[in-house]
A and B are shown apart, each in its own frame.
Chain A
């Protein structure tokens, strides 16, 4: 065991400080040090995307990053996107269009999709499928996930137009 490091993160707008070994994976730092349990440990081998968070504006798999690398970073998890009382547009769309069954992959799916729509607000179905290719779902067959993301894109664009 090596000496613990002093780690500072900004998670969902809140400053967090804690001690951790540099080898601790970011996903475990979030879940076990900070009790932020939205991002899930799925495959733990950077394939499934259940642990996806937004880190300094990038969608990253938090199982493939040491907490030491993330030191100083700004992180958004599913907890930072919406709340049970005030769902994010993507959460509402997943609910409406049955974009989940067991729900295990959903935090990673929605966190990734939020970044995808930020970079490309009007994606085609093909672009959604390509942009979501780092997230695996074992229930839905993806059809309704794609439908949910396209519906959320329409909703976001409609409210943007209405605001103008």
Chain B
């Protein structure tokens, strides 16, 4: 498999990246680990006349933890998310999620930024970022701006990022209470048939707050506020779980593909969410 020819750029600062993007417009694209973009280029589903490799840009590889505020640079790899002990102490849901992405070799290269920016409904980080109410930090020719992850995704591969902007980091407050990332996949390396990111805080014996986001069950990740509301004030009993799953099913819109027909995906989504809520509640 040979991709279309391209000119290769490896700038060493963000100003140069923006300048190349501004100059070449649609013909230029940035690449982090390349583990979504390179396969697309090999299949010639993506043609990139000007490929901008971000590996030499300083500051994009950092994991910063300031109290409960966590910032992950765009070039932080899934492997680093798995192995960063301070991050696992403050926000273990990152490790739990990263361990369920692809395989060891892909995790050494695959990045947070690529996973979040790509807009592939099968990527796991977008749903997680919506669950955590993360901010997505962009820079462009007009400076920096931040967008809530819950407002970032418009359609498959379509986000609010402009063509001349670069995703440089994501930031979020480490969630309190219990958490779970639960994913059903056919095999190692597959995208989710259904996946759920859940955080829950407990007050006395009941749910004080909850956040629920689903992956690969619509053309964008789905943060389900109604599914959260169905849990709040309950003790996560069977009826509350059922109501939350019902609410979630009202928000997703899966399509049939090689992972199964719509009815099957809805079934799996319900099973996975129930498991995720149960585990998050047990940990709360």
Contact = CB atoms under 8 A, between A and B. Distances in A.
Interface string B97-108: 000001111101
A163 interface: no
B189 interface: yes
A136 B91 CA distance: 32
A22 B6 contact: yes
B161 interface: no
Nearest to A131: B104
B238 interface: no
A24 B8 CA distance: 11
B46 interface: no
A112 interface: yes
Interface in B181-210: 188-189
B8 A46 contact: no
Interface stretch (A52-60, A92-100, A148-156): A52-60
Contact of A2 (B6, B55, B106): B6
Interface string A1-42: 110010000000000000001110100000000000000000
Contacts of A65: 34, 38, 109
Contacts of A134: 102-106, 188-189
B8 A5 contact: yes
B39 interface: yes
Interface in B1-38: 1-8, 10, 34-35, 38
Given A2-B6, A22-B6, 8 more contacts: A5-B8, A23-B5, A60-B108, A66-B34, A112-B105, A134-B104, A134-B105, A134-B189
Interface of B: 1-8, 10, 34-35, 38-39, 41-42, 51, 53, 55, 79, 102-106, 108-109, 188-189
Interface of A: 1-2, 5, 21-23, 25, 44-47, 49, 52, 58-61, 64-66, 68-69, 71, 112, 116, 130-134
